[in-house]
Chain A
């Protein structure tokens, strides 16, 4: 069966510090991978998605970036965090193909920027 894990689960970072959140999927190959952010107030915002190694699409201009160095690994990064980057970050995967298939989420990473 397929599983998705992301880490760290919780982190507190000072403004201006770097960020690296990692997500891995097991039990499938060539998945679509996604990073979502949930700020206070519930809404889920798509940040990045990837349909293959090295292929990243950005949805919202910001100081975050994403990379996919391996088929089942997705990394969210920042060189310098802003206060507004605080939130709950969720990694997700779906079966490659796009038109059909369920989206499955990791456990989430709660980021507080002070």
Chain B
């Protein structure tokens, strides 16, 4: 099955700083999503981005499917951005119903 690698595993920022999170895939990208898990555990959908670039406020994401990676940009970070960020994609070559997750990037934004 597809392997999903996220970097960095941990990131500490001061409020107001910018950051880039990366997701690499071992196989072709089909159905990439970015999630934010808040401190209460809820997984919030950030982007559904199989290819191209999308922006939502201070967050934007770019997926380069041909090179098997995706980037999540956070600008002017706020303490509420803290939490774990996951990327995920469907397995390719097997069941197309299974979303495989990376291990996440733990972001801490300090005031």
A residues at B contact (CB < 8 Å): 32, 34, 38, 42-44, 46, 49, 51, 57, 59, 88, 90, 94, 98-105, 107-108, 110
A102-B33 in contact given A42-B84, A44-B86, A88-B41 (Cβ < 8 Å): yes
A98-B101 in contact given A88-B41, A108-B41 (Cβ < 8 Å): no
Contacts of A94 in B (CB 8 A): 97, 99
What does DSSP make chain A's interface, helix, strand, loop or mixed? strand
Docked pose: A2 CA to B103 CA in angstroms: 28
Docked pose: A8 CA to B11 CA in angstroms: 32
| A-B pairs with beta carbons under 8 A, tally | 52
The answer to whether B42 and A49 touch across the interface, beta carbons within 8 angstroms, is no
Docked pose: A49 CA to B96 CA in angstroms: 11
The answer to whether B97 and A51 touch across the interface, beta carbons within 8 angstroms, is yes
Closest Cβ of chain A to B47, distance in Å, is: 9
Which residue of B41, B88, B97, B101 has the most chain A CB atoms within 10 A of its CB atom?
Answer: B97
Contacts of A101 in B (CB 8 A): 31
The answer to whether B106 and A42 touch across the interface, beta carbons within 8 angstroms, is yes
The answer to whether B31 and A105 touch across the interface, beta carbons within 8 angstroms, is no
A98-B97 in contact given A90-B43, A103-B88, A108-B41 (Cβ < 8 Å): yes
